[in-house]
A and B are shown apart, each in its own frame.
Chain A
């Protein structure tokens, strides 16, 4: 086997309809984020990504995939499974936003309160999460991330390429604006 000087990580799991997608489905630029709800760096990136989607609303769509690093973040796996349970009810992004906006409240008690705030039934969601109904889904995201070269959180892929720059808004705008977009078909 060869030893290239530098491996360029590429997204190996294409975006499909099972993904959580925010923004226009036919947006020319797709950002795939691998994130961990308890990761402070993901928390810091969250408002920047939201603002990016606002400023480039016709250009960019965001895909969110789970990458809980549970040895660092004991609440991350449960948070991811709760987001999936909300997603089953069409509320993934609301739950996603709540989680990133309440990163100091991810313990089970406060998490249930968050679920309730969204108007979902905590008992129902807790039961599903306790059965790990969505464990395979979260694992599937994680495994695909590892195979694609996710090396921490947040890791972003812009198009198929791992984004090596920062996640401040100017960095993100620069990266998105430099991404070649397909010529629209007439």
Chain B
């Protein structure tokens, strides 16, 4: 189910998928992390200045995400090779997923494929059971930061689940 902006809405099961990921090219996706919250960060393209800031920022914020035992996955329609160079240039060590072939298939499934053939700048927090807990579509030129994600993780109350894991 999607909202007026097309983006997948809270309460909907998050469509499962796997995509090739940096740094090693193996396929990964949210279903591999059941029991943990997963943050899907869709972004338009590697190398555009705003994107660099957003993914670099999430790398710097990784200790905050780790407090919730959350997994962060970046997703764009760029190829694995572009992702690899981009991740290296920005010091990004979390997986960047290549929604490259068939182009944008996963992005469409989450309702964030744009007429320009890119992903919108959307954030989706998937709860440990695999349902969408929070979603947010940012204007393409605005880096949405991490505050909304961390608030959504707070709402999940995953602090307790971390200790049980």
Q: Which residues of A contact B (CB under 8 A)?
A: 1, 3-7, 9, 12, 68-72, 139, 142-143, 146-152
Contacts and interface: CB of A to CB of B under 8 A. Distances in A.
Q: Is the interface of B mostly helix, strand, loop or mixed?
A: mixed
A72 B147 contact: no
**In this complex, which of A1, A12, A68, A72 has the most chain B Cβ atoms within 10 angstroms of its Cβ?**
A1
Given A71-B56, A143-B64, A151-B53, A6 B138 contact: yes
Contact of B56 (A3, A69, A146): A69
A7 B143 CA distance: 11
Contacts of B139: 6
A146 B64 contact: yes
B136 A151 contact: no
Contacts of B144: 7, 151
B137 interface: yes
Across chains A and B, which 4 residue pairs bring their CB atoms closest together, nearest first?
A71-B91, A151-B145, A151-B143, A149-B147
B90 A9 contact: no
Q: Is the interface of A mostly helix, strand, loop or mixed?
A: loop
13 contacts: A1-B10, A1-B134, A3-B137, A6-B139, A7-B136, A7-B148, A9-B147, A12-B147, A69-B57, A139-B63, A143-B64, A146-B147, A147-B150
Interface of B: 3, 5, 7, 9-10, 53-54, 56-57, 59-61, 63-64, 90-93, 133-139, 142-148, 150, 152, 155
A139 B67 CA distance: 14
Contacts of B146: 146, 149, 151
B90 A72 contact: yes
A148 B53 contact: no
A71 B145 contact: no
